Structure 1
Amino acid sequence: MKRLEVKDDGKVLGFGEVMLRLTPFNHQKIIQANSFEATYSGGEANVICSLSMFDHDTKFLTKVPNNPLGEKVIKDLNSFGICTKDVTKGEGRLGIYFLEQGNGLRNSKVTYDRKYSAISLAKKDEFEIEEILKDVKLVHMSGINPALSEELKGLTLEIAKEAKKRDIVVSYDSNYRSKLWSLEDAGRFMLDILPFVDIAFLGILDFKNILKYEISESKKFEDSLSDLYKKLFEKYPNLQYASCTKRKVNSVSNNSLQGFLFDGENLSKSKVYTFDILDRVGGGDSYTAGILHGLLNKMKNDDVVEFATCASSLKHSIQGDINLVSLEDVETLMNLGIENIKR
């Protein structure tokens, strides 16, 4: 059984933007709302918060504005036990996104207000990469940061390269955001960073739209996915694992989810979980955290993907972006299914 090649000691580092999320109450549209629920989150931060909930030693790298909103971000990260000593402060603002939560036939909708955010204005020389990576065993990044500026493209790639020089595992999630950059720009960056990635979170749409692979319409999903991963691993022998989910939208408030994990030879899959949705945002990040947890703990591949899918399924019952569930919560669903009230 293949195991992740990772150092025994060190922290899991996340690098990304933390934003203020403003959500109208009671599924209102923004045009109706006069008050909003405020939470703080970001794709990479959601992953690191989940890993902290799963008892991993973590830290986060970002830039926040030098004002009370920046202090609030740091305070919230610290509340999860996340080390923030490498977070920098400076010019710019805290990015905001507004989430209209869908209902019935109306989809959820995100409106960004993030231009001139502190992280998007960051320069590479504000971060001492060698010092930051000294106590790190795995770094997790995504396609969100490099979409924000040319400077962050270079910084994300430099962190990946420096990590590989130090035998630090690199985890990269495509996390494509059409409102931030084009498919062509995302594809060019993907080709740049993949040679330095150990764990890639890529689905069939990423292969089709970003990497421009031909997708067979006649094959079953998992057979097509396995073929695509094999081609990817042949081109990038540095890859150790790749993973994604298959989601079936039964309705805005009810989905089914199945996870897949490829190790270079075999594709493992989870059971299909069907659940009602309180808040879908962050579901993918909770899956990513579950995969990383399982691999870091040297679980069997079948158990890794089962754990991750259970973690993501549970996230959909949590308000906000961050998956506030414990190891025990996930393992209970994984091993025993839905239980009555725990007393």
Structure 2
Amino acid sequence: MKRLEINSNNKILGFGEIMLRLTPTNFNKIIQSNSFDATYAGGEANVICSLSSFNHDTKIVTKLPANSLGEKVIRDMRAFGVDTKDIVKGEGRLGIYFLETGHGVRNSEVIYDRKYSAISMASKDEFDIDKILNDVKLVHISGITPALSKDLYEFSLDLVKEAKKRNIIVSYDSNYRAKLWSLDEASKFMKEVLPFVDIAFLGILDFKNILKYDVNMENDIELELERLYKELCKNYSNLKYMASTKRTVNSANNNSLQGFLFNGEKLEKSKVYTFDILDRVGGGDSFTAGVLHGLISDMKCSDAIEFATCASVLKHSILGDINMVDEKNVTDLMKNGIGNINR
């Protein structure tokens, strides 16, 4: 098993877009709504804020509009204890996404309004890599940000390449968004970034649709994932850990979840948790943060994947993209299970 060598004194960095989320109240559809709840978040920021809540030293890098909305985002990030000093401000707007929350048999729906956002218009020269990586031990990126522009595609690669030169751990979450780019475009980026990645969050559909591996979807997921992860390690010997979840949708408001973590030799799995949903968005980012926390904290792989899955399960009970739980909340669920009262 390969181990992570991490400078515990430095920060965990997330690079990516932060957006305004507008959600109709009371499970209403957008067409019937005149008021919306507003929150601020993004895939990488969700991970970083969650890690900050687990008492890690963190920072976020993005580009925001030079107006009150940009300042509001910075205040929200700082409220989580996240370092915002390397955030760039300038031309463009704050991207928006509308979330129509599903109920019963009606699925949730997302509408993006992010064209001309400040970060999508950013030049890669606006980001000072030397300054950004100066105090960093781990970089987390996803497949969302490079889909936004050619410059962000190139900068994401430049960032991880420079990180590896400095022996900084790189975490990558595929996070494929069909509304942002094609499978072929996502495949090209993934194959370029994987040689520099230590921890990869890749599910079985990523292997099938993006990496174009031969996947037996009728096989037991545990056996198939272990086979696929072992094959990926042969192609990318730099990979140390890979993780994903299996979600069973019982209804829009009730799911079951199980987590998997591969350490280069063996696949560990969590228990299966079945739970009601208040807000599903950010559940994957909470899982990612839980895995990173477990690995950084030198947990056994079996404990790390249980922690990550429990963190994701708890996120589904919280409104907004960001997981508002601390380490004790997660370990209490691990020890006591669902349905017990903490007294």
The bucket for the TM-score relative to the shorter chain is: over 0.9
Structure 1 contact 164–196 (Cα < 8 Å) conserved: yes
Report the alpha carbon displacement of residue 7 of structure 1 after superposing the two structures with TM: 2.0
Q: Is residue 26 from structure 1 mapped to residue 26 from structure 2 by the alignment?
A: yes
Report the alpha carbon displacement of residue 124 of structure 1 after superposing the two structures with TM: 1.1
Classify the secondary structure of the residue corresponding to 1:93. coil
TM-score of the pair, normalised by structure 2: 0.99
The aligned amino acid for 2:46 is N
Classify the secondary structure of the residue corresponding to 1:257. strand
RMSD (Å), alpha carbons? 0.9
Report the alpha carbon displacement of residue 57 of structure 1 after superposing the two structures with TM: 0.2
Report the alpha carbon displacement of residue 53 of structure 1 after superposing the two structures with TM: 0.4
Q: Is residue 212 from structure 1 mapped to residue 212 from structure 2 by the alignment?
A: yes
Spell out the pairing of 1:95-134 with structure 2 (5 A cutoff). 95-134=95-134
Gaps of 5+ in 1: none
Report the alpha carbon displacement of residue 218 of structure 1 after superposing the two structures with TM: 4.6
Aligned position for 1:307:
307
Report the alpha carbon displacement of residue 103 of structure 1 after superposing the two structures with TM: 0.7
Aligned position for 1:279:
279
The aligned amino acid for 1:138 is L
Instruction: Summarize deviations over 1:85-112 as a string: whole Å, max 9, x none.
Output: 0001000000000000001111000000
Classify the secondary structure of the residue corresponding to 2:178. coil
Supply the distance in 2 between the matched residues of 1:45 and 1:74 (Cα, whole angstroms): 11
Supply the distance in 2 between the matched residues of 1:299 and 1:146 (Cα, whole angstroms): 31
The aligned amino acid for 1:283 is G
Structure 1 contact 257–274 (Cα < 8 Å) conserved: yes
Spell out the pairing of 1:40-51 with structure 2 (5 A cutoff). 40-51=40-51
Instruction: Summarize deviations over 1:18-68 as a string: whole Å, max 9, x none.
Output: 000000001111100000000000000000000000000000000000000
Give percent identity, aligned residues only.
68
Supply the distance in 2 between the matched residues of 1:277 and 1:111 (Cα, whole angstroms): 20
Classify the secondary structure of the residue corresponding to 1:230. helix
Supply the distance in 1 between the matched residues of 2:111 and 2:88 (Cα, whole angstroms): 26
Supply the distance in 1 between the matched residues of 2:216 and 2:144 (Cα, whole angstroms): 28
4+ long deviations beyond 6 Å: none
Report the alpha carbon displacement of residue 2 of structure 1 after superposing the two structures with TM: 4.9
Structure 1 contact 268–301 (Cα < 8 Å) conserved: yes
Instruction: Summarize deviations over 1:276-326 as a string: whole Å, max 9, x none.
Output: 000000000000000000000000000000000000000000001000011
Supply the distance in 1 between the matched residues of 2:105 and 2:257 (Cα, whole angstroms): 20
Report the alpha carbon displacement of residue 184 of structure 1 after superposing the two structures with TM: 0.3
Aligned position for 1:36:
36
Aligned position for 2:296:
296
Aligned position for 1:193:
193
Report the alpha carbon displacement of residue 339 of structure 1 after superposing the two structures with TM: 5.4
Aligned position for 2:72:
72
Classify the secondary structure of the residue corresponding to 2:118. coil
Supply the distance in 2 between the matched residues of 1:26 and 1:217 (Cα, whole angstroms): 37
Supply the distance in 1 between the matched residues of 2:292 and 2:214 (Cα, whole angstroms): 28
The aligned amino acid for 1:81 is G
Structure 1 contact 11–57 (Cα < 8 Å) conserved: yes
The aligned amino acid for 1:162 is E
Structure 2 contact 257–309 (Cα < 8 Å) conserved: yes
Supply the distance in 1 between the matched residues of 2:135 and 2:15 (Cα, whole angstroms): 15
**Number of residue pairs matched?**
343
Aligned position for 1:15:
15
Cα gap change, 1:217/1:19 in structure 2, threshold over 3 Å: closer, same or farther?
A: closer
Supply the distance in 1 between the matched residues of 2:127 and 2:248 (Cα, whole angstroms): 41
Q: Is residue 262 from structure 1 mapped to residue 262 from structure 2 by the alignment?
A: yes
Structure 1 contact 3–298 (Cα < 8 Å) conserved: no
Structure 1 contact 203–245 (Cα < 8 Å) conserved: yes
The aligned amino acid for 1:244 is S
Supply the distance in 2 between the matched residues of 1:136 and 1:329 (Cα, whole angstroms): 27
The aligned amino acid for 2:275 is F
Q: Is residue 52 from structure 1 mapped to residue 49 from structure 2 by the alignment?
A: no
Supply the distance in 1 between the matched residues of 2:172 and 2:2 (Cα, whole angstroms): 20
Supply the distance in 2 between the matched residues of 1:217 and 1:73 (Cα, whole angstroms): 41
Classify the secondary structure of the residue corresponding to 2:207. helix
Classify the secondary structure of the residue corresponding to 1:255. strand
Aligned position for 1:325:
325
Classify the secondary structure of the residue corresponding to 1:64. strand
Supply the distance in 1 between the matched residues of 2:8 and 2:94 (Cα, whole angstroms): 35
Supply the distance in 2 between the matched residues of 1:188 and 1:70 (Cα, whole angstroms): 32
Supply the distance in 1 between the matched residues of 2:83 and 2:102 (Cα, whole angstroms): 35
Classify the secondary structure of the residue corresponding to 1:178. coil
Supply the distance in 2 between the matched residues of 1:178 and 1:154 (Cα, whole angstroms): 20
Aligned position for 2:145:
145
Aligned position for 1:229:
229
Supply the distance in 1 between the matched residues of 2:2 and 2:198 (Cα, whole angstroms): 13
